[in-house]
Structure 1
Amino acid sequence: MRLCAAPPFAPDTPCTDESRWRPHDLLRLARLAPVPDEPTWVPEAFARAPFAVVRRARAAPGFVAAGLRGGTRAERFGTWVNADDIESSVSPESLLAIAPSPERAALAAFVALASLREAPGPLRDFVWGPTGSAGFELATQVHTPTESSDLDLLIRMPRRSDAATIAALAATLARAAQHAGTRVDAQLETPAGGVALAELAQWTSGKARVLARASDGARLVADPW
């Protein structure tokens, strides 16, 4: 997040990981309480699409760390939502069942996603789905990706995968990216946290550690499983 609000709870409040919602889930909110020093674009963006994405941070009971997005890449704001204001949630994998509107389907991010939906190979063995701007549009029906937008994915990988599988995943995404003329970036959800597919591929080739992003911060780990 480019900016982040101060937590609405005392620094010494015991915090936990909320199990009902996971990082990258999109939350539809009944309301968004204003916070001090929030960017001026936040109210308008929330009125346009009353959704926030779950981010990786622990929170006091009754709160969820979430992020809001505006109309540009620079408009990102980390905040905290009240769990009682959450009306529903959408996971990345559930968005695979939703198609973009016909007039938007030719955007590179959606072309790449359509290619991956039909791709043979290792991706079919995992639970996965779109995040980022493509996922946001599929969940909210608000135009979000542009002609130059990348496709971001989340791939759930709770168990160890071998080097051949990781390489095959990377090759599958590279083919979809080339076909669509855009970038396809994937984050793997491992027991240690979120790990970039590109970095994990280097790890399987001998890199000593990988960067894993967890709710208590990012850290280098020798083994994400």
Structure 2
Amino acid sequence: MRVCAAPPFAASAPRVGDARWRAHDLLKLKQLPEADDEPAWVRAAFARAPFAVVRRAEAAAGFVAAGVRGTARAERYGTWINTQDIELLISPEVLLDREPSPERATLPAFVALAALRAHEALNGYVWGPAGSVGFELAAQVPTITASSDLDVLIRVPQRCDSASLHALADALATAARLASTRVDAQLETPAGGVALAELAMGKARVLVRASDGARLVADPWQARSSEPTS
């Protein structure tokens, strides 16, 4: 997040992991309490679409780390949501069955998503759109542009072999060529989120992002043995 609010809980408060809230889930909110240091655009953005995106950060009991999106790429605000203010949770995989409005379905990112839906390489996976595409489908407000990329989240709790990783990477590349846009995927593993592109390259260590920080790991499907990033 480019700007982040101060936590509404004490620095010494114990941090808890709450499985209800997962990175990239969208939260429809009843209200967003105003913070002293929030950017000027936040109120208008929230009035337009009362949603926040769960982000990877630890929070005290009763709170969840989330981000508010503005209309510009630079407008991203990290904040903390009181769980009592959450009206609805929408995961990326739920959004897979939602269609954009007909007049926006021809935008490249939506074309790429339609191509991925039809690709057999993703059969059997739990996955869905994230980023600006996911936000538009959840909030039902125009969010993406003709230059927007497509970001997808793929849940892989069990180990993927090299052939499966390459099949997924090939599916994304095919959709990207068809739609003339960029398509990226993050795999949600037991250790955290890791870019499909990194795993498919067969690197000795890959960057994994978790709620307590980013680290390099040799195997994101094993119990954590890691090196914090500098």
TM class by shorter chain equals over 0.9
> Which AA in structure 2 matches 1:210?
V
Aligned residue number for residue 200 of structure 1: 199
Match of 2:100 in 1: 100
Q: In the alignment, what sits opposite 1:19? A: 19
Cα displacement string for residues 17-59 of structure 1 (whole angstroms, at most 9, x for unaligned residues) = 1211211110000000011210000000000000000001111
Deviations 1:77-98 (A, max 9, x none): 0000110000011000000111
In the alignment, structure 1 residue 56 sits paired with structure 2 residue 52 = no
Residue 187 (str. 1) matches residue 186 (str. 2): yes
Structure 1 residue 221: Cα displacement: 0.5
Q: What amino acid does structure 1 have at the position aligned with 2:204? A: A
Q: CA deviation at 1:120?
A: 1.7
> 3-state DSSP class of the match of 1:103?
helix
Partner in structure 1 of residue 116 of structure 2: 116
Provide the residue aligned with 2:40 in structure 1: 40
Letter in 1 for 2:78: G
Residue in 2 that maps onto 1:166:
165
Distance in 2, Cα, partners of 1:23 & 1:110? 22
Q: Secondary structure at the match of 1:20?
A: coil
- Give 3-state SS (helix, strand or coil) of 1:128's partner: strand
Amino acid at match of 1:202: M
**How far apart in 2 are the matches of 1:200 and 1:6?**
34
- 1:141 corresponds in structure 2 to 140
Counterpart residue number, 1:223: 219
Rounded to whole Å, the distance in 2 between the matches of 1:38 and 1:218 is 25
Could you tell me which runs of 5 or more consecutive residues in structure 1 were left unpaired when the two chains were aligned: none
Distance in 2 separating the partners of 1:18 and 1:146? 34
- TM-score between both structures, scaled by the size of structure 2: 0.95
Aligned residue number for residue 91 of structure 1: 91
Instruction: Output the amino acid matched with 1:73.
Output: R
Q: In 2, distance between residues paired with 1:118 and 1:166?
A: 18
1:209 to 205, 212, 219: 205
Identical pairs, percent: 69
CA distance in 2, matches of 1:136, 1:83: 20
Moved over 6 A (4+): none
Q: Secondary structure in 1 aligned to 2:44? A: helix
Listed as ranges, the gaps of 5+ residues in structure 2 are 222-230
Distance apart, 1:208 and its partner CA: 1.4
Return the TM-score normalized by structure 1.
0.97
**Secondary structure at 1:73's aligned position in 2?**
coil
Count of aligned pairs between the two proteins: 221
> What letter matches 2:68 in structure 1?
L
Amino acid at match of 2:164: T
CA-CA distance at 1:130 after TM superposition? 0.1
Partner amino acid for 1:54? V
Matched residue of 1:125: which SS? Answer: coil
